[in-house]
Amino acid sequence: MKIFGKEKIIKFNKKHPEASRHLNSWVRKVELSTWNNPHDIKNNFNNSYDQLGDSKGVFNVKHNNYRVVVQVRYCNGMVLIDGVYTHSEYDKLRLK
């Protein structure tokens, strides 16, 4: 898959350097993947992906310490990063 919005991960890693190794590993795994539907993601990431809508989802990275919210365009092989958050930042977003 081709990832767009990697600058959000770079910015997050600068603010949270302890997340860098885990998020960079996530990037590598996504780029080596090919997904045609949400089931492909679930098969690839087990229980660390939650579908939020037809094309939107959230990856739980490092045992839910970090969240990567994405839009997946299956027909184009694209993953668009909407945001990268700590667990608590993501929970605050969901309350709004």
pLDDT tens column, 4-36: 999 999 999 999 999 999 999 999 999 999 999
CATH assignment at residue 11: 3.30.2310.20
Q: How many domains does the chain have?
A: 1
Q: Residue 91 corresponds to which tokens in the numbers above?
A: 């929970």
Task: Judge contact between 51 and 59, C-beta under 8 A.
Answer: no
pLDDT for 95 equals 58
Q: What digits encode the pLDDT tens for the residues 78-89?
A: 999 999 999 999
Q: What digits encode the pLDDT tens for the residues 54-77?
A: 899 999 999 999 999 999 999 999
Q: Does residue 96 register a pLDDT over 70? A: no
Residue 81 domain boundaries: 2-95
Residues contacting residue 28 through CB under 8 Å, at least 6 positions apart: none
State residue 92 phi and psi, 5-degree precision: -65, -40
Burial class from Cβ neighbours inside 10 Å (0-12, 13-18, 19+) for residue 83 reads middle
Q: How far apart are CA 45 and CA 30, in angstroms?
A: 9
